[in-house]
Amino acid sequence: MAFFETILWPLRWLVELVLWAWHWLFTTLGMDADSGLTWVLSIIGLVIVVRSALIPVTVRQIKSQRRMMDLAPEMKKIQAKYKGKSDQFSREAMSRETMALYKKHGTNPFASCLPILIQMPIFFSLFYVLRHAAENTTGIGFMTADLTQSFNAASLFGAPLKMTFTQGWESGQWTVVILLGIIVVLMIGSQFFTQLQIMSKNVSDETKNSPMYRQQKILLYIIPFAFLFSGVAFPLALNIYWFTSNLWTMGQQFIVIQNMPTPGSEAWRARQARLKAKGKLTDEEEAEIDRIEGKKAQQGQRQQPVSAKRAKKKKK
């Protein structure tokens, strides 16, 4: 654990700085320094700073996903070329061609994971900052002895922010148990709704017919329950951070789906219809509609069943 704390030292310092800055702002405005509300607002302020800083990364992620969709037909050609070939030479050749394709289109399949990968070190940095504060240990920068004592004294509706679900259960602090129970249910609900928005409205018709989509649909009902672990293992303050971050994700996803939907998806068609009604559809967007709808029509024609009787007539 000490090894991870050492690696996260710069991020822990930044987390302490942001928490201190928000706490100072709210106390300067006249709020009680030891109030749980002051600390909760400071944690929400940390979420705002972190997620705002990640907006360029999120935009890059969306653009990368778009480019990945564009190169899907070429990816299928490469996969078909090496289908059934399991020797090392073929695998290496397939890997080289795939990487060359990514380089050509300026994309990377791992780009879609960047926002969550960047957030996790920040989340654990906050965990260490709050854990040390709960143990009455001063921080490495801005979490002074006074600020540490202030956090230890802070409670929300009588529930100490430093307590976990287990600690609340064992000590009979039922307000902690109830609050964490409510937050966990809301986190599961917000995560499920966010994923449902993507799966139902922001996925192209072509993707919906793929086996991968069916697998992701199963995960839709499983992944949100990972928050049960965080609700039990992490203190109330950290769960408030994660829940606020979830709300940000839900709102951000709604804006993205409304304004930057995946081409060929339900949300994309709705946006194109809105723009067309307002006379704001560009020539490029008109061409994109024709291309996607034309491709969809061709696929539909290929999938039409032909009876044996009709096939004989065609031969004649």
**For all residues of the chain together, what is the average pLDDT?**
78
The Cβ of residue 293 has, within 10 Å, a number of other Cβ atoms equal to 12
Question: Regarding beta strands 159-160 and 155-156, do their DSSP bridges make them parallel or antiparallel, or are they unpaired?
Answer: antiparallel
Tell whether 64 and 188 lie within a shared domain. no
Q: Please name the residues in contact with 113: beta carbons below 8 A apart, sequence gap of 6 or more.
A: none
Tell whether 114 and 194 lie within a shared domain. no
Residue 120 pLDDT > 60, yes or no? Answer: yes
Residue 121 pLDDT > 70, yes or no? Answer: yes
| Pair of tokens at residue 97 | 């061609």
What is the predicted pLDDT for the residue at 187?
86
Q: Average pLDDT in the 9-28 region? A: 92
Tell whether 149 and 258 lie within a shared domain. no
Tell whether 143 and 8 lie within a shared domain. yes
Residue 133 pLDDT > 80, yes or no? Answer: yes
The model's pLDDT over 22-56, given as tens digits with 9 standing for 90+, comes to: 999 999 999 999 899 999 999 999 999 988 988 88
- Domain assignment of residue 169, given as a range: 156-300
The model's pLDDT over 62-91, given as tens digits with 9 standing for 90+, comes to: 666 666 666 666 777 777 777 777 777 777
* Gap between the terminal Cα atoms of the chain: 78
* Structural domain includes residue 88: no
What is the predicted pLDDT for the residue at 306?
46
Residue 115 pLDDT > 70, yes or no? Answer: no
Q: Does 202 or 177 have the greater pLDDT score?
A: 177
Least confident of 9-18, 145-154, 288-297: 288-297
What is the predicted pLDDT for the residue at 311?
47
- Quick check: 130 and 143 in contact, CB under 8 A? no
- Quick check: 168 and 176 in contact, CB under 8 A? yes
Tell whether 183 and 201 lie within a shared domain. yes
Q: Does 134 or 16 have the greater pLDDT score?
A: 16
Q: Average pLDDT in the 239-247 region? A: 89
* Structural domain includes residue 79: no
Tell whether 202 and 294 lie within a shared domain. yes
* Structural domain includes residue 11: yes
Write down the pTM of the prediction. 0.75
What is the predicted pLDDT for the residue at 165?
87
Tell whether 140 and 207 lie within a shared domain. no
What is the predicted pLDDT for the residue at 283?
63
Domain count of the chain? Answer: 2
Tell whether 230 and 257 lie within a shared domain. yes
* Structural domain includes residue 63: yes
Tell whether 145 and 166 lie within a shared domain. no
What is the predicted pLDDT for the residue at 109?
62
Pick the last residue of a domain from 124, 153, 182: 153
Q: Does 226 or 165 have the greater pLDDT score?
A: 165
Percentage, residues of the chain above pLDDT 70:
74
Question: By CB neighbour count within 10 A (0-12 exposed, 13-18 middle, 19+ buried), where does 73 fall?
Answer: exposed
Q: What is the DSSP string of 56-75?
A: HHHHHHHHHHHHHHHTHHHH
Residue 308 pLDDT > 50, yes or no? Answer: no
